[in-house]
Every structure is written in structure tokens, then in C-alpha cells.
Amino acid sequence: MRALWSGRLQFSHLDFPVKIYSATQSEEVHFNTLHAACGARLKHEKRCPVHGAVLEEEIVKAYEYDKGKYVTISEAELDALAPKSARALALLMFVEPPVLDPLIFDTPYYLIPDGPIAAEAYGTLRESLRESGKYGIGKVVMRRKEYLVALWCKESALVLSTLRYDQEVKGAEMFDDLQGADKKNKEEIRKTTEIIAHHTKKFRHKNFKDGYQEKLLALIKQKVEQLRATEQQPAKPSPLDAVPLVATKNGNTQPPKRGMVKAPPAKKHRRKTGS
């Protein structure tokens, strides 16, 4: 598996090389688009409404500041704005898990020691986090962006999750319809609380499946098997394969017209005459 990022984790006296790997994978089925008439795969070209198809080097980034009005930004300008990457993951503080709103968690990764020499320091940090029950908070630069991250233990590994910044999270106060939910019925709350307690169970993640995805994959498998079975069947002979060919005046051969197949002429026997 290819690492998405490599650098050094730095905190106090700890400084050792690490790599970041994706912790999740998408099982979503991705479809291609074909031309229904002939089955050819469609190409999606980038086209200018004035000049038609354009080359990759003719494309620039732009920001729409008013309807139909744009300001362009060059790659050099973006590079100048990007935070300078020191290839370092710096841990800044440690916090209790309840203070982290689940809404701010974004993408999880596995943080793995880079080489046997780093393994001991990695184990020290992992077990210290496990015993403390806290999350580490730090920053790292990846792909031109500075990410706020959280670090915690999962089994034998450390998990690093990118966190959304405060301005990226919407507040619930923006929904006016919530105002009607302010009224509290104590009896209904008591009954519902009892029902919740009755249905409280141990969560087993592996017991939950994507039913639609499973049905879709089964349908695809069935269709593929049908196509392969058809491809393996011998081609049916054409009706013309059993029709005899007749010679034309110019010497070519062609199938005879329906009802016009003639029997070969009978051989003539010459009668012997006496001398």
C-alpha cells in the first residue's frame, strides 16, 4: 500500500519518522457511460462555448466574484500562498475526547512508524495516549493545505483524523423549524427514555450491510455471467452455409435464387454403331 504522506512526528523529546495511510475505502460502484446505439464509451471533453475543445495547457483557474465575472489565479500564485511544508506533524496539545464535537471529524488515516528504529518511540506515544485516554491535537501540511488533526489509539495503531475548522461547521440555530421543538412534555419524555433504554444494545459494526450495494453487485455479477456464457457458445451457422453455390456466366459463384436450384445435367451415352 502506498503512503499518502511521510514526514516526522514531533512532540517534546519525541521525534521520529512516520507515514500516513488511508484508513477507509469506498465500496461504491462506479459506472461508465456508453452510447446506447453502438455501445462505445463516451469521452468527456473540456470545451469552450466559443472555440470548442481546448488543450490542458489552455486551462486556467478562476474565481467567480459576480455572476459571469471571474478573476484568474495562476499556479505560481497558489504556490506562493501555500504553507511551507516542513514534512512534520507537530503535536500542540492534548484534550479530553468529549470536548471534540463529532461534526468536526473529517477523514481518518492510519499513522504508522517509518522503519524499525521509529517503532519504539511510536509504541511509547501510543501507550501513553492509551493510558491517558486523551486525544492529541496537532497540525500537518498536506497537498498545499494546513490541516488541524486529532490523534488517538485504535488497537495496535495510532489513528490521525483531519478536523474541520470552526467556520466549516454549520450551527443548528440556522433552522427556524427547530423553534417548534422547544415545548417539553415530561410524560412523553419519560416513556421515550424507557423505550430507548429497552432498545439499547451492543453495537456490532460488521452486522450492518449496505443492502442496495449488495443487490447491485449481485445484478452486475448475473449480467456478466450471462454475457460470458453467450460469448462461449459456438456461433450458429448461417442458412446460406447450407445452400450450394452456382456458377454465373462470368465464372463467379453465388447462392442460387430461391426455387431455382437445378439438378446437374444427365450424362449423354453415345450409341455404338457397327463398322
Domain residue extents for the chain: 5-25+83-167, 49-81
CATH number of the structural domain 5-25+83-167: 2.40.290.10
Closest CA relative to residue 91, chosen from 16, 144, 23, 180: 16
Query: Over 60: is that where the pLDDT of 275 sits?
Result: no
Return the higher-pLDDT residue of 242 and 123: 123
Confirm if 124 and 133 have CB atoms less than 8 A apart: no
Range scoring the smallest mean pLDDT among 14-23, 53-62, 172-181: 172-181
Q: Phi and psi for 256 in degrees, rounded to 5?
A: -70, 155
Which amino acid does the sequence have at 125? Answer: L
Label residue 185 by pLDDT band (50, 70, 90): confident
Confirm if 28 and 210 have CB atoms less than 8 A apart: no
Label residue 153 by pLDDT band (50, 70, 90): very high
Average pLDDT over residues 193-214: 92
Q: Note the pTM of the prediction, 2 decimals.
A: 0.74
Query: Over 80: is that where the pLDDT of 234 sits?
Result: no
